[in-house]
A and B are shown apart, each in its own frame.
Chain A
Amino acid sequence: MPPKRKDNVVIKVEDVGMDVDAVIDSGSEEEARRRAKNRRVRPQRKAKRVSDDEEDEDEEDEEPRRKGRKKKAKPRDSDEEEEEDSRSVKSKSSRASRRKAAKEESEEESEDDRQKKKKRGKGVSKQEKEEQNKEKKGQVKGKEGKDKGGEKDRKKKSGKFSSSSSSDSDSDDQSLSEGEIEALKEQVEEKKKQIATLRNKPWRIKRRLVILKEAQDFVEKYEGALGKGKGKRLYAFKVMMAKKWIKFKRDFENFKTACIPWERKIKDVESHFGSSVASYFIFLRWMYGLNLVLFGFMFGLVIVPELLMGLPYGSIPRKIVPRAEQDTAMDFSVLFDFRGYCKYSFLFYGYYNSERTIGVLQFKLPLSYLLVGVGIFGYSLMVVIRTMARNSNEGGDGAEEGEFTFSWKMFTSWDYLIGNPETADNKYASITTSFKESIVDEQESQKDENIHLRRFLRVLANFLILCSLGGSGFLIYFVVKRSQEFSNMENEDLSWLEKNEVELVMSLLGLVCPPLFETIAELEDYHPRVALKWQLGRIFALFLGNLYTFLFALFDEVTAKLESEKAIKNATEWALNQYIANYSSHYNTTNVPPQNVDPADTLRGPCWETAVGIEFVKLIVSDMQVTYLSILIGDFIRAVLVRYLNYCWCWDLEAGFPSYGEFDISGNVLGLIFNQGMIWMGAFYCPGLVGLNVLRLLVSMYYQCWAVMCCNVPHERVFKASGSNNFYMGLLLLVLFLSLLPVVYTIMTLSPSFDCGPFSGQEKMYDVVMETIDKDLPSFIGNIFVYATNPGLIMPAVLLMVLAIYYLNAVSKGYQQANLDLKKKMKMARDEEKNRRNNKDSTNQVMKDLEDLLPDKSLIPPPTEEEPPPPDVVIEKGSKSPKIKPGAAGKGVKLQKDVSLAATNPRAPVNRAPGPRRAPPGNARGPQPGPGRGRGRGGPPRQ
């Protein structure tokens, strides 16, 4: 190794080196500060450095011999450079501050070590390696010179390490003693942990690679050597398996990330529109994943068994199109309305047979149907809540709003994802505005505007919005009622418009109302973020109102259908009885063969479940159509027109009135959420709905990605999607709950149709569970259920739960209170600290008052304060004066504090520390170990 070269390296590293390892270990601030200081004094210490370097060189010369192993493995100088790098940093710091103290101690220690090593005889022993590896870890461990490195020893040596080395010296060097094995094991474990956490270390990657390599080599080398005899093999096997497992896990991770679709697409969108628009697409993707799982349940447990093992199409009445409809059953218009063949297919509830078990596997389809229907809700609930919990961990620990307004704005407002000039410009503008707004807020120069007018406008806006909400609800109710009238009429008499009125009106309302609200919201003149929340809330209310109006109207329809069903049921029963009576009287036998009627000709009920399913499917489809058409017309055609008509138009279309569309995040997200709500509600009555939704989301993903990239412009005010993920999730949870209600209600109260669906013939849908418990499970489980459903048991259980909720609530309130107290305390401590350090006019009213109560001393300022020192010195001292190492001059500090507090005349702020601490400027920049070291500990307030 050429020593010259290394010299260069050292110096180079030193020149640049300070920003290496901003934080090596725990005492980060202290370390950093010390380093910074050392750098400042570097010129003075050049000479010293040279000699140090020489020493290092010697040490380096030892290196190759000591780690021949390592040298083979990797390029040499990078290794050494790293080594040098970390060491020079370390040495710089340690030399400056504790060289003297260290010297004596290390002298002793190295003496010790040398003796031990001589005893051990072999130059390169395991211990040696351990040492090397240990010191590499960046915890400041001692570096040991073997022969003459006495003065190079650093002070710090972990106690564990030295004790292990002493135990080593007792044993002979070939066989490993128990303690040694333990130590080795520990180290191997440590290394492993290091490998696992290496990526989290803020080191240069080169260094990380080197350390990784070393750690791996170490582990490889010593892992096998551990354990004896039988244990050895087992250990080796375990190690091997662990390795395989890690490899497998990594491959699996790789596979998993490779499976996440649309990374690139979303990234493109993200770079153009910032994270808020991208958050919609990420949400969409998440939704797609959720629906895929739901579809998997539905498809695998309900649809496929019925298709494979159930009776084929046309075998029973519920599985065939009635004779009257057969002529038109294949027409496109009929199919498009989900009637005809669609209605009598596996897509809908009515198709499924009520046989208890089907096929050779004795698959219990009705039970499976019910469980999947409920399980979809259970699974969604679980996933949503888990995602929410995970998201909530991500956001910061929520300091109070306003504590860090400016610094947050400064350091976190730029969205690093932005990669599009236009978006960047918008972002710049919005950041500037937000800064200006904050400045205005800060100065609290509330413009003298007409507060009454604004209040009036806000009330007016809310009134208008309430009106339109009510209006839309009424409209839907009216339309649904009308559609019920239509449904009683003949199909042929109705136009397409009349048949699809409900869906159309709902979709149009969803299309028209949000922009209307936005326009009305202009009146209110809220801050955009507040406005967005309002907007979201209003659209949510609109959708919810519409959905529930729709549901109530649907319930009316269902009850009507139930009535007519009863009549039909009676009629069929009557006909059957008639037939049996006729048959038996005619042939004089009780052995009546089943009625020989073609399944298509049988009289059948309206099957309200299928009707509900069809309503939902139609709703989804029309929603889809409206959404896609509005994108096509509202965004694409508009963009084309604006783009190309601009050449021959009288005003600037691009900048002026029509302009390009913006991506409406709130509307899209809410649309997605409500769509999902309808899926949840409809899935029970229409198992095919989930599959349809998967398709829809897939198409949406591509279509909207394309649309947003090709015809939208970024928002003028690019806002961040911060925390909005959980906001979306919260809405989703609410919608999930709201859609759970009607489904559970129908399952629990309404009786299923008598001639269609998996529950036909039962009084209630959940009877299928009872039946299974009775017939298929051992009787004691049935008994357990009987006991468990006993009111005597349920009541205490409910009570217990209420108590638990109460208790948890109380506990969380207590925690909140404690949190608040702590925050308050921290704030107080901070204020106090600030006041003390800054020596400025107190911002804290209480402190101010207290200071006012300190009368006499403040009138006599220390004489040194008369002359104004240069400003940089002021800063120097302001930072340093009170921060003396507590151990060294604890008393002094207290005294100092008192003096500075007392010396402050609160009405006349003093910008610097009082006299006694003042040192000449040159001196202030010199290496002063005291303040420098005490600095880091100066963080928390000293009481």
Chain B
Amino acid sequence: MAGADGDDSLYPIAVLIDELRNEDVQLRLNSIKKLSTIALALGVERTRTELLPFLTDTIYDEDEVLLALAEQLGNFTMLVGGPEYVHCLLPPLESLATVEETVVRDKAVESLRKISQEHSPVDLEVHFEPLVKRLASGDWFTSRTSACGLFSVCYPRVSSTVKAEIRQHFRTLCADDTPMVRRAAASKLGEFSKVLELDYLKSDIISLFTALASDEQDSVRLLAVEACVSIATLLPQEDLETLVMPTLRQAAEDKSWRVRYMVADKFSELQKAVGPEITKNDLVPAFQNLLKDCEAEVRAAAANKVKEFCENLPEDSREQIIMTHILPCVKELVSDTNQHVKSALASVIMGLSTILGKDNTIEHLLPLFLAQLKDECPEVRLNIISNLDCVNEVIGIRQLSQSLLPAIVELAEDAKWRVRLAIIEYMPLLAGQLGVEFFDEKLNTLCMAWLIDHVYAIREAATCNLMKLVEKFGAEWAQNTIVPKVLGMANDPNYLHRMTTLFCINALSEACGQDITTKQMLPVVLKMSTDQVANVRFNVAKSLQKIGPVLDSNALQTEVKPVLEKLATDTDMDVKYFAQEAISVLALA
């Protein structure tokens, strides 16, 4: 293409704008997604003077198109001529920050935050900050909501007069009359606190924080809990008691379970933010209450934090606190009426054993693990089994194996295939810990049964499991216990089972080594090349390609090659294709 460089007349703006206006939404969307290409074709000046005004004027479109536009504009700085001109992008993004759809607005704010960094301090005050002010005093709630996300990015880089204005705007929005705006302000409170000077943090933010934390709407109050983490981190320790703790205590006992849930959910962060002393005096009892909350949602959220909370307790009193305050609550949760609470607990409870050590684990935790292993809900049992390695490190798995086994056998036959899948994935670990004999005796049949599961994902996982077992127990073990059974399936009337033989061979050949592969597996594969089902035949071709590198060249030339050549003339096109592929990969042509 001649003279592409600078020859903008090739691409009259009208044509490009037509594309952005196309009647078909999908085409419009495609064009918007390539807006940078259009801008590139127009050059920086025409992008500034023609394209951006067009975009600013025509912002009434499907939200999906607007979303794409908002995203594009965040990366447009170079296309309008660099940081010097970046403020040209503000008008269209300002309009986008006022639309109704949350996703679009959020994206516009994200882009604005991004390009704010590219503004010089002067441009920030001349162009950016006035935009924030306009949004903050907009009529409809959407623009005010968007403004909340912009204060913190411009605050650090403006003069102190402007800073005072920004603080004032933020204060106003925290007391806005629509809850949507208060929620937005509350959710940005933590972020804004981080850029504020400590004095203003104490004089301004704390009163806003207290007010939001006692808002009439629980959806606002719960967001203040999040801010609490940042604020507590920023304040010096000696101020926490007076400035933060009254509010936090109140939140932990809020009448709305949503707020309590939030406290439970943020508990570890809160614990780190307030430090060890307050944790000991205040958070331990609060945590006990959350573990005993009347709502299952809250108990489950708290149960999830048990391990982290205990880990982060100050070392000098950790064991004592856990044994006297936390463990009694945990014991109760083991027999909770709600399965989600129990399963949340089951996912972390094993972690306590490393904290408490061997003796405490055997005396206090083991009964709980065993109780959960026998729980009626499979998810609880699964969570326990999935975390066995933690306990193993502390007391060894033999202790558990007797109680463990019935649970594993039951889960291995669970009606939900995802549960079966999870168990399969733990087999290699268990096998390694239990040893060959125990495994052969108790688990081998299970592993073989999975090979004929009616769900493909299970058969596939079972195949992979066999490979890992062979890697652990060695080729000889494989030859005696696994290979005969696998090869036996080659005569199964069900072609899916016959194919499983091939998949197993693919997985096992390398681990079993040349001898077993050539002498035992290869004949079976070759025999299957005459199978009446085409899928089996082309999988033979794929298997030969896979195991070829393990075989010696003699076997390749005399046994594999003729079979592949025959398959390459098969009537089925897929068989032909894979046979030819195998021939070329194994360089047998």
Q: Do A and B bind each other?
A: no
**Which B positions have Cβ atoms within 8 angstroms of A?**
none
**Which A positions have Cβ atoms within 8 angstroms of B?**
none
